[in-house]
Amino acid sequence: MSERRVETAAVGAALHAFVAELFPICRSITGDGVRATLAAIARRVPALPLIVHEVPSGTPVFDWTVPREWNVRDAWIANAGGERVVDLARSNLHLVGYSVPVDAHLTLAELKPRLHTLPDHPDWIPFRTTYYDEDWGFCLSERQLQSLPDGTYAVRIDSTLAPGSLTYGEALIPATEPDAGEVLLSCHVCHPSLANDNLAGIAVATELAARLAARPRRRYAYRFLFIPGTIGSITWLARNEATVAHIRHGLVLTCLGDRGRPTYKRSRRGDAEIDRVAAHVLATMGGAHRIVPFEPWGYDERQYCSPAFDLPVGCLMRTPYGQFPEYHSSADDLAFVDPAALAESLGLAAGIVDGLEANRVYRRRDPRAEPQLGRRGLWDPVGGKTRTTNDLAMLWVLNLCDGRHTLLDVAERAGLPLPTLAAAAERLVTHGLLDEVGA
């Protein structure tokens, strides 16, 4: 294997190991599972300035209210012989999330309306929740349901739904340049043992945060949010209406570990800088990929892109939510998440960030004709040869960097990768031929 491939394999293995570490935790939109997940992120990246916020139950957040906190210790269904036929201890998907406490005996017929299965995938356990409706239920495989004999079953749910708080994590990695604003990176942390849908996004976001925190230079500040889906982003927006003004670009990171091709979902604006940068990076870095338009469905981009905010926030994923059969089921497990896909997703997210950092505006110091590059050592003096990509990048920068075009404009027009043009621009700045506008 080449050195680069060995490195990619190591990155993928490390990301997958973090997914595996987080996998057993019983998460929901509130409760100790979210806290344990945030603690694991903090342990993994000690340099990350992660703040854990606790927002009290009952706090109004726009049209919503922070719900009561839910925690569960034990939940099971036992047959007449006392054998636990369905047990939270075996899979935390077995219990419908936010189930209220129960201690009862029911016949199978009485129990059945509360049992959820996936008849099309008879060996999988579905993931179901009842966040905003006081209820309870269990999830199991269709095959197991069919095997349950009639009779009376003992049902026990040892949960609490009580005033507490909604927990989310936030880390702001500061910029090293003034006044450029912030990039928002957001992922949800509210699903239990589901590997692609939530843990892959968390693992990629955590590693991206570690890398950004370790950089000596950052044009933008980077605000990472590790939040419960929907209610978490609504809560954050309600508490941060003033912060929103600083956000220049944003990405929701989700479903980044399956073997499908990468997908970028555009922001509500459709043509924001993040949308153009992401499309350019996927076209120049990745192989097969897809770019899809905004729709008011999916993850927290729905809230960031609500009309009052209309933030330039897109969503990076692989196979979109709901479009892989394993979605919201026990088949979204550790085997479903591929280390190579995780590593590629991290590379794409980092590439988009690099693109945002590089997309500056430059102006020729003296825009009359071409400068003589040979005498500056920027040009192979032997004429008549085919010019390299770097040579062409330099010519494109010298031609289009007139103070009006961004480097992304140049990249799109030249059909060259943004990093190649950024390197050319840097060389020309060093040689006094180019200046960054506003720097």
Minimum distance, C-beta of residue 254 to Zn ion, in the bound complex (Å): 8
Per-residue b or e along 353-365, where b marks 16 or more CB atoms closer than 10 Å to that residue's CB:
bbbbbbbbbbebe
**Distance (Å, whole) CA 244 – CA 75:** 41
Provide the 3-class DSSP secondary structure of residue 406.
strand
Is residue 275 at the binding interface for Zn ion, with CB under 5 A as the rule?
no
Provide the 3-class DSSP secondary structure of residue 272.
coil
Beta strands 263-265 and 290-292, pairing class: parallel
Minimum distance, C-beta of residue 312 to Zn ion, in the bound complex (Å): 23
Alpha carbon separation from 400 to 85, 91, 275, 357 (Å, rounded): 69, 58, 22, 19
Minimum distance, C-beta of residue 197 to Zn ion, in the bound complex (Å): 4
List binders of Zn ion among 298-357 (CB under 5 A).
none
Task: Give me the residue label for tokens 């030249």.
Answer: 414
Size of residue set near Zn ion by CB under 5 A: 1
Minimum distance, C-beta of residue 188 to Zn ion, in the bound complex (Å): 7
Task: Give me the residue label for tokens 């049992």.
Answer: 115
Instruction: Give residue number: closest CB to Zn ion.
Output: 197
In terms of CB distance, is 315 or 416 closer to Zn ion? Answer: 315
Minimum distance, C-beta of residue 126 to Zn ion, in the bound complex (Å): 12
In terms of CB distance, is 48 or 200 closer to Zn ion? Answer: 200
| Binding map of Zn ion across residues 190-219, x = CB under 5 A, - = no contact | -------x----------------------
Contacts of 423 (CB under 8 A, 6+ apart): 390, 393
Residue 116 has φ and ψ, to the nearest 5°, of -110, 135
In terms of CB distance, is 197 or 275 closer to Zn ion? Answer: 197
In terms of CB distance, is 62 or 297 closer to Zn ion? Answer: 297
In terms of CB distance, is 194 or 408 closer to Zn ion? Answer: 194
Task: Give me the residue label for tokens 């997940």.
Answer: 37
Minimum distance, C-beta of residue 194 to Zn ion, in the bound complex (Å): 7
In terms of CB distance, is 118 or 247 closer to Zn ion? Answer: 118
List binders of Zn ion among 243-262 (CB under 5 A).
none
Residue type, 138: F
Binding site for Zn ion (CB under 5 A): 197
